[in-house]
Amino acid sequence: MPRLSIDGVEIEVEKGTTVLEAARALRKDVPHYCWHPGLSVAGNCRICLVEVEGMRGVQISCNLPAADGMKVRTSSDAAVKARADVMELLLINHPLDCPICDQAGECKLQEYSFELGSGRSRFDVPKNHKRKAVEFSDRVVFDAERCIVCTRCVRFTKEITGTDELTVVQRGDRSEIDTAPGKSLTGNYQMNVVDICPVGALTSADFRFRSRVWFMEQTRTVCSSCSRGCNVLAGTRWNRVLRLVPAENAEVNRWWMCDRGRLDIREPAAEDRLAGARLMRGGVQVGVEPGEAVAALAAALAEARAAGGAGLFGLVSARLTTEEAWLARLLLRDHAGSPNLDLLPRTGEADGFLETADRNPNTEGVRAAGIAPAVGGFGLDGFRAAAEAGRVKWAVLVGEDLSGRPEDLAALAKVPFTAFIGSHDRGAAATATVVLPGATWAEKDGVLVNGDGRAQRIRPLVRCPGDARPESRILLDLLAAAGAAGAPDPSSSPAFLVKAMAAAVPALAGLTLGGLGERGAPLRGRTGVARVGTGVEV
């Protein structure tokens, strides 16, 4: 194993490690454009120059294997001067686009220019102009003038998606990126090129001009669009989620995420969000205080409990957090005695990369919390027949409105008492006896368990509209109103809820919210790809 010194600090690295990687292991960030940890080395941008004792001139550190006894200086005068020269060359034809460029504020060209550049250009000849606002697809917009031809995007389509759609055309200072004539970028991962472009040459059509990045609050959370649970950085402003970009997590999504998940940010701000509670009175729903609706539902559950619980059906969404599912189980099964609990499966096709067949983000967690038909009970499949036969007297839907499922809605119409706790005024919300406004993934703090059994924390990004609240809060109130034995206090914090759940559910033993850290942790005893956890209490 080679042992080298970087700026006087010794480090031993695996054979084959580059000097740039060794420097990063020491938390020295050598400037780089073309190098990306998830892509092959191209070595074309030359900004990563360092000085190595005994080697002539300066060397690019991203393509220089660390060797025994090497003495590297990352910020010697010669290295810094060489980098400043590279910057000057890169900026010869660069447009003065920062005021209109979406990358501004998170642009490496700006950063290194600020560090190394001069405020003045020594070139007074007209700049070499290129195409702007070129639609590579309906999701990705390209600006050739801003491109520094680092080929990260080209390597992404070659190495990661294998679609091989982008290439460098022309030579010298006319080089730019293009698709094949008449072709466009395709597929469910194309927007990743926007993230990896170190400058503003590739921008997202969806986010374009929506907000300058420095105004957005950036929160690390988890995508809720499939059971992969890609780690994401959510950008929010004006109480809206404006953008999701992948956050690196080697155990889950590495540096990438799919476009479907990325663009799934409209629901929290949809027009038909429920903002108030409603009660059915004389055949019409009327708006009521949430407390009144909670009392009405608690009273119905008391009846169901008195009748033994067999006539009660509970549908608990696999989009809820694990704690919410557990609270729903406490209420509907442990308290009201229903053997008929189930979740609504959502499936699609697994693409072999990130997107999984299970499009619910928390099937594992919700199942672990005990949402499944008990012996003698029925699930969603059995519900229809049972409802037709008049065996279902009460139905409680938590986080699922059954919109787009006409047969289930027809069966639901046969149930005398239905309650809907959820975020949107859709499907069952229109006919339910009790409606309580809930929250979307963007408004909750809690634990999701992905398809590999990795527990990860989602965080609240925006505020709920009106009287809407996370389902956990509503369920806690219902448990209190029902007088359920052993239920957590209604004022319990998210962290306390997780602790209480972990103490009660063996499959989730040891889980704590704090222990999940930024990157989550595999549940105890789980095997799967996600084994290398951080800070797990197991």
In the complex, the residues that contact ligand SF4 under the rule CB under 6 A are 99, 147-153, 177, 197, 199, 201-202, 223, 225-226, 228-230, 253, 257-258, 260-261, 354-355
Three-point CA angle 397, 401, 405, nearest 5°: 115
* Contact partners, residue 215, CB within 8 Å, separation at least 6: 237
The pattern of x and - marking residues 188 through 227 that bind other proteins according to CB under 8 A reads --------------------xxxxx-xx------------
DSSP assignment string, 421-444: EESBS-GGGGT-SEEEE---GGG-
Query: What is the chain's length?
Result: 538
Which residue is listed with tokens 């924390």? 457
- Closest residue to ligand SF4 in the complex (CB): 261
Q: Which is nearer to ligand FES, 108 or 262 (CB)?
A: 108
Which residues from 56-75 bind ligand FES, rule CB under 6 A?
60, 62
| Sequence-ordered list of residues with C-beta below 8 angstroms from that of 307, at least 6 positions apart, any chain | 393
DSSP symbols for 364-408 = HHHHHTT-SPPTT---HHHHHHHHHTT---EEEEES---TT-HHH
Choose the binding region for other proteins from 16-24, 176-184, 265-273, 307-315 (rule: CB under 8 A).
176-184
Q: How near is the Cβ of 144 to other proteins at its closest, in Å? A: 8
| Max CA distance (Å), the chain | 90
Residues 155, 148: Cα–Cα separation, whole Å: 14
Alpha-carbon distance values, 518 to 247, 282, 534 (Å): 10, 50, 9
Q: Is 169 helix (H, G, I), strand (E, B) or coil?
A: strand
Q: Is residue 162 exposed (0-12), middle (13-18) or buried (19+ Cβ within 10 Å)?
A: exposed
Beta carbon of residue 155, minimum distance to ligand SF4 (angstroms, whole number): 9
Residue 35 binds which entry of ligand FES, ligand SF4, other proteins, none, with Cβ cut-offs from 5 to 8 Å by kind?
ligand FES
The only residue of 181, 282, 352, 376 in contact with other proteins, by rule CB under 8 A? 181
Smallest separation, CB 134 to other proteins (Å): 5
Positions 101 through 130 that interact with other proteins (CB under 8 A): 104, 126-130
Smallest gap from residue 211 Cβ to other proteins (A): 8
Kindly state whether residue 170 participates in binding other proteins, applying the rule CB under 8 A. yes
Closer to ligand SF4 by Cβ: residue 150 or 411: 150
Find which of ligand FES, ligand SF4, other proteins, none residue 149 binds, CB within 5 to 8 Å per kind: ligand SF4
Strands lying side by side in the sheet with 134-135: 134-135, 140-142, 202-204
**Contact between 352 and other proteins (CB under 8 A)?**
no
- The interface partner of residue 260, options being ligand SF4, other proteins, ligand FES, none and the CB cut-off 5 to 8 Å by kind, is ligand SF4
* Binding of residue 169 to other proteins (CB under 8 A): yes
Minimum CB distance to ligand SF4 smaller for 89 or for 410:
89
Q: Which does 178 bind (CB under 5 to 8 A by kind): ligand FES, ligand SF4, other proteins, none?
A: other proteins
Q: In the numeric block, which tokens belong to residue 327?
A: 């609270």
- Closest approach, Cβ 133 to other proteins, in A, equals 6
- Per the structure block, which two tokens stand in for 270? 């949809």
Q: Report the DSSP beta bridge partners of residue 436.
A: 421
Q: Is residue 96 a contact residue for other proteins (CB under 8 A)?
A: yes
C-alpha–C-alpha distance, residues 493 and 280, integer Å: 32
What CA–CA distance (Å, rounded) separates 511 from 503? Answer: 9
45 makes contact with ligand FES (CB under 6 A)? yes
Site string for ligand FES, 5-44 (x = CB under 6 A): ---------------------------xxxx-------xx
Binders in 370-389 for ligand FES, by CB under 6 A:
none
Q: Which does 62 bind (CB under 5 to 8 A by kind): other proteins, ligand SF4, ligand FES, none?
A: ligand FES
CB contact at 8 A, 231 and 246: yes
- Per-residue DSSP letter, 361: S
Q: Which does 355 bind (CB under 5 to 8 A by kind): other proteins, ligand SF4, ligand FES, none?
A: ligand SF4
Structure token digits, residue 149: 């031809």
The DSSP code for 44 is -
Near other proteins by CB under 8 A: residue from 26, 98, 280, 536: 98
| Number of residues located near other proteins, criterion CB under 8 A | 30
Q: How far apart are CA 280 and CA 434, in angstroms?
A: 6
For residue 106, give the DSSP letter.
Answer: S
Output the smallest distance, CB 405 to ligand FES, in A: 52
What residues are paired with 219 via a beta bridge?
Answer: 234
Q: Give the nearer residue to ligand FES in terms of CB position, either 42 or 402.
A: 42
Q: Say which entry of ligand FES, ligand SF4, other proteins, none residue 228 contacts (CB below 5 to 8 A, set by partner kind).
A: ligand SF4
Q: Is 444 exposed, middle or buried (0-12, 13-18, 19+ CB in 10 A)?
A: buried
Nearest to 399 by CA among 472, 294, 480: 472
| Interacting residues toward ligand FES by CB under 6 A | 32-35, 43-48, 60, 62
Contacting residues toward other proteins, per CB under 8 A = 95-96, 98-100, 104, 126-135, 144, 169-170, 174, 176, 178, 181, 208-212, 214-215
